[in-house]
Structure formats: structure tokens, C-alpha cells
Homo-oligomer: A and B are copies of this chain.
Amino acid sequence: MNQGTWDKIRVVQYGCGKMGRILMRYLLEKGAEIVGAIDTDESIIDHDIGEIAGLNRQTGIKVKCHEETVLDNCDADIAILALQSYLPDMHKPILECVTRGINVITTSEEALYPWTTSPAITNQLDALAKRTGCTIVGSGMQDVFWVNFPALIAGGVHKISEIEGAVSYNVEDYGIALARAHGVGLTPEEFEKTVAHSLSMPAYVWNSNEALCMKMGWSIEKTQQKAIPVLADHDVKSETLGQVIKKGNAIGMSAVVTTLTHQGIVVETQCIGKVYEKGEGDLCEFTIHGEPDTRFSVSKPDTVAHTCATIVNRIPDVLHAPAGFFTMDKLPIPRHQTYPMFLNIGEC
């Protein structure tokens, strides 16, 4: 194939759980090529990704559990890491890709803007990625809806004193790791001892608040959070935990994250992650207090679908970005990618 022409984007799907399966379907529908799939779940190892992703065909690519073997035996342009929420848990999987010069995009919520919450890991990965010539980006729902959305609307506002937001999601949609991080199933006392004061666990809006400040050109004075358990007022079944949460125990948490800036502008976002009951929908609403006051929202956003769609739409931006841990505040705004989504190998 000649330079300056188009090629399929070659992707390794790293993590083939709830999100990974949707991501693989979206990738195949957009014309990307999945060249490897990694997961440690024994129930899906050696299964064809066409089956895992709910397509009615075999692709010849099977889920494997040894990431090194998969990564060494294909020429992937990028790996999608749909694994854990926090960067310390993501350090090794990202390293496996970056040491091989494979670009990374991840659903890890902390990776959206981890410069202050995990500075040592972020800087180490940034330096390594620059040496191996690849790019690391964290994206998902928050990229479009929690950061770029309020930043865009702010472009139509004259004066701003505060940006106030509330988002929510169903912890049942994201697997066991996220449910545990939200204290699902804990007694109030257990919640108070663990999740409530755990500063090593920033709420997801901590990272999105700070990314928003960066996009707005505001310098951060400090970010603080309060984590409040959301307690069940009757027994609630959690499919993810595979157990009934007793009345009085936590079905999740509400984190109120307040970011103060040296410009005097406050960004405060409430992030509610809990086990939903029937009929409940996600929340995504913001108010800019200023001139004029401006309220805007997405009605019951399908957070899982938006996360997967945003990740897939972001891939060309990652491939064209400079090397390093290149957080989304520095990328152009996400664009809807039309079909097929190819890589112009004459560019960058």
C-alpha cells in the first residue's frame, strides 16, 4: 500500500466485558479491523469476537488472556483499554501497550485528566509515550458531555461566576470494579471508613472538572470532594454484585466535587453513581451562573452507548495527536465519524 492513501485502523480490544463488547461492534460497523482481543474472563477465552460482540458471524479473532502474546503478534495502531477506573490499576496495561509503541485510548475515568490525581504515574507514562512515539488519551461520556458540552455553551455566555453540574449513571452498567469503588453493598459505617474519605479515589467529576477548567483557561486553586452514600430505603437487587442490598446499606454514592479557580470562578459537579431501579434514567445537566444564566441538559443519556461511541469517534484524533499522555482538553472537540472510518496514512 502506498503512502498518502487510506488504510483500515487496526485495533486491539483490551477488556471484553460489558463495554468491550459494544466497542467491538461499533468498531466493526465503522470499518475498523480488530486484530486482537484480550480478557481474563475464562467464560469468553477462545470465543470468537464476532460471537462476543453479538454479530452473526465469525471473524477469526478470538479472545485471549495473555496480553503480551496478543500485543506481540499483531501490528495494532491502537489499543482500547476498557478495564478499570483508576490509573494505578491501569498502569501495567498501559505500560504493556506503550512500551510496544501502541497508542492507547481508555475508558478509565481518571485518565480523562489525571495530572493532579495520579501525577507520578501520568508523568512516567507521558515520558515513556514520548520516547516510543505513541499517544495515551482517556475519553468516554465525560469527554463530550461533561467537559466539551459546558465549555461549548460557555462560548455563548458573557460572564461566568459558576458552572454547576449533576450527572448520574447506573453502577450496574460498568461491572464489579466500578460497583465496589462506589461502595455498593456497604453499611454506612463501612462506607464512612473506606469510600467516604478515600482521596486516592477521586470521583469521576474531579477529573472532568479539572479538564473543564483547562479548556476554559482557568487555573485551579484546589479541588475538594465530599462523598455521601446513597442508602437503600428498601431491599434492592444488584445484578452486578449478584446479591440483594439490604435496606439501609449503600446502593452507591453521590460525590460533590468543587473546583476553585484563581479566576474566582467555581466549578461544582455532583456525580451520582448508584444501582438504579426500574424506570430511572441517567442525569446530565448543567447550569452556568452568569450573564445570562444558562441551563442545559441531555435527557436520560445512554451513558454506556455514549461512552463507546465517543471512544470510537475519538480514535482518529488519538492517531493524529502528538506523542505523550495527551489529555482530551488539548484535543479538538470530538467529531462524529462517518463510515468507513479510515486512517489517512499520509497524515502525521
Contact = CB atoms under 8 A, between A and B. Distances in A.
A216 B148 CA distance: 17
Interface string A131-149: 0000000000101110011
Contact of A296 (B158, B293, B298, B308): B298
Interface stretch (A92-100, A200-208, A268-276, A334-342): A334-342
A153 B157 contact: no
Contacts of A144: 152-153, 155-156
B156 A338 contact: no
A217 interface: yes
Interface stretch (A45-53, A106-114, A249-257, A309-317): A309-317
Interface stretch (A1-9, A36-44, A185-193, A299-307): A299-307
Contacts of A312: 158
A247 to B, nearest CB: 33
A297 interface: yes
Nearest to A148: B152
A293 B305 CA distance: 10
A263 interface: yes
Contacts of A26: 158
The bracket for how many chain A residues form the interface is 35 or more
**Chain A interface secondary structure, helix, strand, loop or mixed?**
mixed
Nearest to A140: B156
A152 B152 contact: yes
A206 to B, nearest CB: 21
A297 B141 CA distance: 17
A153 to B, nearest CB: 7
A291 B305 contact: yes
Contact of A305 (B30, B152, B292, B333): B292
B153 A298 contact: yes
A295 interface: yes
A294 interface: yes
A336 B145 contact: no
A245 to B, nearest CB: 28
A220 to B, nearest CB: 15
A284 to B, nearest CB: 9
8 smallest A-B Cβ distances: which pairs?
A155-B334, A144-B156, A292-B302, A154-B336, A158-B309, A295-B299, A292-B305, A156-B306
B296 A297 contact: yes
A49 to B, nearest CB: 18
A65 interface: no
A149 B145 CA distance: 11
Given A30-B158, A294-B302, 5 more contacts: A216-B336, A217-B338, A291-B309, A295-B298, A295-B300
A160 interface: yes
